[in-house]
Each structure stands twice: as C-alpha cells, then as structure tokens.
Structure 1
C-alpha cells in the first residue's frame, strides 16, 4: 500500500510541469503571426487555413469579419459554432487548431540573434541553443523576457529554465567578469 501511494505521489509530482504547460496553452490567446485552421465537418466551403496579420481580422463566410487576436482557440470555436447554428446549420461541428505558432525572438548575447519558430516545451536554454548558443560574455542570471500578459506588455526577470511562449522577446544581457 505504501509503495502504491509513493508511486502515485511520484507520478503526480513528475507530471506537474506537463500539466502546468497544458494549462498555459489552454489559456493561449491567438496573436498576429499564428496560423489557424478552421474546419466545419461536412462543409468544405466553411473551412479555411490562414495566418493572422497585425490587425487579426479574418473574413469568415456567413459571419463576416471576426477579430480573432486575443481569443482562445476554444473561444473562436464557440463564436463560429454560435454564429452558424440555427440560421445556416442545425448542429455544426466546428474545430479550430493552431497549425503554426507565431515566432519568438532572442536578442543580446547569443551567437545568432533573431526570430525563430516556436516549439512546445521550449525553455530559454533551448532557445539560446537554437540561436547558436550563448556568447562568452553572456550572463546566465541577467535574462529578461518581454511578454504580453492579460493584454499588457510586461518585462519579466527570468532564469535559463523558464518556459518560452510564442511571441516572447528574450534579452540575454552581458556578464561582467
């Protein structure tokens, strides 16, 4: 019995980072640069795939212009479902998925600063590796991330193991020996 409880406790603790990441992505809001795919099963004329521009407005059949920046995937699904239900379809089966996340950017003391394709599970260390690695003068403690939180731009102090989100701007400062 004690062994079973210990195994269960280990599983819960070990899976917490995955759970925390899935919670983050359930709250993920769409932004410019994301590519979304909208599928209405059995209705090819209502399905589309598009990259969101800076304005974040898509022109959707029968519903017109929809501002999708700031919406979650689930929120967009519900909006389209409610808009099509009744007048056009009896019970539409709507699916919205993210085909490609917007890029993240890394500046400062990395060998190849710039924008890179986001990958789930990305940490600052992994982002720096994608950018060619840290330079010799890179500080491992003076790391800042510019991120939009609740619609506002914030600068967060970070460590090398912090999760990177799409659209983040990572700044690696210089270290003074």
Structure 2
C-alpha cells in the first residue's frame, strides 16, 4: 500500500512540475542564433558593448564644455550628459552611443554635432552561470567566451540539468533578450557554439522528471521505515 501511495505521489509531482518552463516563448533553433550569434568565421571579435563601471571618453568636436576625458558608467548602467540628462548606455556600442548623443544635441542645441565615444577602461567582464549547474556563480572572461566554455566554468550540469534547455539572457540596446540553446547538439557538433560576452546570464533548465526521481530516492528510506511497523 505504501508503494502504491508513493508511486501515485511521484506521478502527481511529475505532472504538476511539468506544467511550466522558463524558456516558454523564447526563440530557439535558428531563431536563437539571431539573438545570440556565433563568433564570425574569421575569428574577429564582436564590436565592444559598454558595461557597468566602464570608463568612457566623450569628445564633441569644437565643444570643450561637452568633451570629457573620463566619464564613468554607474552600477545602474547610466551616464549623465549635459543638455540630454541620464542616458542608459549598458549593452550599447560606442558608435551607437555616439549617434544617440549627436541626435540629442542636434535636436535643440548644436547644429550638426560630431561626437566620438571611446572606452578608456573596461571593468572586468563577467558572465553569470545559474540554474542546474554544479557550481553556479559569476565568472570572469577575457573578451569573449562560448556557451560550452562558460558552462564548463561552472563545472558542468547537475543530474537535474536539461542540456537542451540552456537559456542565454543578454542586454541589447538597453533591452533584455533571451534565447534557448541545445547544449547536447552543440557538444555533438550538430549546432554551432554561440558567442558569450560580458554581462550575459546563462540559466540551465531543470528536469522535473529527474528532480522527482531524486526526491523519490531520498524519501525511499522513510517509506521503508513505515513498512517495518
């Protein structure tokens, strides 16, 4: 009787646990690589994207009051610029930010402004690896990494990890985007390994089936105790 009860409880747990997935609605397959692409075939790095605590230089041609040798990005990913105010800069390229400042100044204040944004110093680039990995945490990378390399830094997947439901989140032009990748297909060479950049967050999905099995095995000694009485 105890076995029947345990089996029924386990089946109900599996049914309830499988009703929701955090990857629902996110692009997968070929669509995922449009959001999080692979490194170019010639090995060239993607254009740098500004991160929190970076130090920028902003030079406005013939406008010394609008020229700064150093301006720090806040922990919230913003800077304050004269006449424009607070700008969200995280995830933007220096060229994109240059264009945005030119547009803001040109609207009211300066005729045909010319702005150049540079990166004086870059804060250590970090990638967060979370979810069903052995050692979740924040890991430093030099420039860029790949999905396989980033997951390996976290010591790989736990037993309850789902290798075909690995989500990468990235800030692009100030907006958060996500995409789902099949780590098994990447390992086997059936899919390309997407490029991971500083600021990305990787979340490995949870297997409700394996999790319920782990819970069942943990509870098994308890059921055996009851059977003795």
TM-score bracket relative to the smaller structure: 0.5 to 0.7
Report whether the alignment pairs 1:48 with 2:70. Answer: yes
| 2:95 counterpart residue number | 74
CA shift digits 1:114-145 (9 cap, x unpaired): 223343231122112322x1145144333122
> CA 1:156/1:17 → structure 2, altered by over 3 Å: closer, same or farther?
farther
List alignment gaps of at least 5 residues for structure 2: 1-38, 184-192, 214-229
What is the TM-score normalised by the length of structure 2? Answer: 0.48
**CA distance, structure 2, for counterparts of residue 16 and residue 105 of structure 1:** 26
Counterparts in 2 of 1:58-73, with a 5 A limit?
58-60=79-81, 63=83, 65-69=85-89, 71-73=92-94
**In the alignment, which of 127, 133, 146 is matched to residue 110 of structure 1?**
133
**In the alignment, which of 129, 143, 166 is matched to residue 152 of structure 2?**
129
Equivalent position SS for 1:122: strand
Deviation, structure 1 residue 67? 0.5
**In the alignment, which of 54, 75, 83 is matched to residue 35 of structure 1?**
54
Equivalent position SS for 2:122: strand
| 1:171 counterpart residue number | 203
- CA RMSD, aligned part only? 4.2
List alignment gaps of at least 5 residues for structure 1: 1-13
CA contact (8 A) 2:97 2:117 kept: no
| 1:57 counterpart residue number | 78
Q: Which has the higher contact order (CA 8 A, sep 6+)?
A: 2
CA shift digits 1:17-59 (9 cap, x unpaired): 524x42xx26x4x45x251321659x7x8211413332x4323
What is the TM-score normalised by the length of structure 1? Answer: 0.59
CA contact (8 A) 2:125 2:142 kept: no
| 1:16 counterpart residue number | 41
**CA distance, structure 2, for counterparts of residue 48 and residue 135 of structure 1:** 42
